[in-house]
A and B are shown apart, each in its own frame.
Chain A
């Protein structure tokens, strides 16, 4: 089955700097890659997603890139702010019927004011 790895497990950046989180997946049939943000004590919430027919997607300070050949995708956060501090999960999902999302282990991001 699908296996999603994520690096780094923890990341600390100065406010205003950029943060990059990288993920790899094992199932070449996966074609949907969401990213979730989970603040302390809260539920995971979708922040951005990308499908396999797209190489890059951007939403304000957040961007995701996908390399299907290498089976890896990344989250980029620019001009980080203290409220970006959270745990970020990447995930992968196949496009077949009865598909399920497989989550990576998470990256704890701390933005230092």
Chain B
């Protein structure tokens, strides 16, 4: 298996633009997590899905952020409009069941200028 796949790996955009981050979980994994990592705030859980259903989005910072999981093999995290303070590394992770290891993707480094 290729592991969790994220695209793009790097994204540079201007303030006000829409940004879409993509994730493909490991096949057969039924949990998908979106994290944001910054020096100031560490590794924050934004939202997670179980069987494509959003379970907890309490970590989503504000209405500018939205996430979807239309099927078991694809999820998106969208920021509209983007702001410089959104600059961070965004990780997607997936897991099979409740008792197993959580695998992280390589991350997307987002820079908003």
Contact = CB atoms under 8 A, between A and B. Distances in A.
Contact of A49 (B43, B55, B101): B101
Q: Is the interface of B mostly helix, strand, loop or mixed?
A: strand
Contacts of B102: 34, 46, 101
Contacts of A34: 101-102
Nearest to B3: A43
A97 interface: yes
Given A98-B56, A103-B43, A105-B42, A45 B104 contact: yes
A45 B107 CA distance: 12
Contact of B56 (A32, A42, A100): A100
Bin chain A's interface residue count: 20 to 34
Contacts of B91: 43-44
A106 B101 contact: no
Interface of A: 32, 34, 42-46, 49, 89, 95, 97-106
Interface of B: 33, 42-43, 45, 48, 50, 55-56, 91, 98-99, 101-102, 104-107
20 contacts: A32-B99, A42-B106, A43-B91, A43-B104, A43-B105, A43-B106, A43-B107, A44-B43, A44-B104, A46-B102, A89-B43, A98-B55, A99-B98, A100-B33, A100-B55, A103-B43, A103-B45, A104-B42, A105-B42, A106-B42
Top 9 closest pairs, chain A to chain B, by CB: A43-B104, A103-B43, A105-B42, A98-B55, A46-B101, A44-B104, A43-B106, A106-B42, A100-B48
